[in-house]
Amino acid sequence: MSRSVPPPAGPRGELLDRLADHLARCRPPHPLRVAVDGPDAAGKTWLADDRARARPEERADVVLDLTDPLAPAVLAWRR
């Protein structure tokens, strides 16, 4: 994880709790994979990091950042 702070409280914390509850109910026969997509600087990595910290005892989260640092910004904004 990129930040070492406690999970957020308030509305964002409530959203993370709801997301964690939903993911806890998912029982696929393989490791659960969750993708977060969106434009640059939308907070995708923060959301993934906060989700991983919300309930670390429930499952081991692996957060992968697949942002292409070599992609021209004009292509990223076009998505």
For residue range 7-18, list pLDDT tens digits in order: 677 888 888 888
pLDDT digits (tens, 9 = 90+) for 25-64: 888 888 888 888 888 788 888 888 888 877 777 767 777 7
Q: What is the value of pTM for the model shown?
A: 0.61
32 closest CA partner among 4, 11, 52: 52
Whether the per-residue pLDDT at 24 is higher than 60: the answer is yes
Whether the per-residue pLDDT at 67 is higher than 60: the answer is yes
- What does the pLDDT read at residue 71? 65
- What does the pLDDT read at residue 35? 85
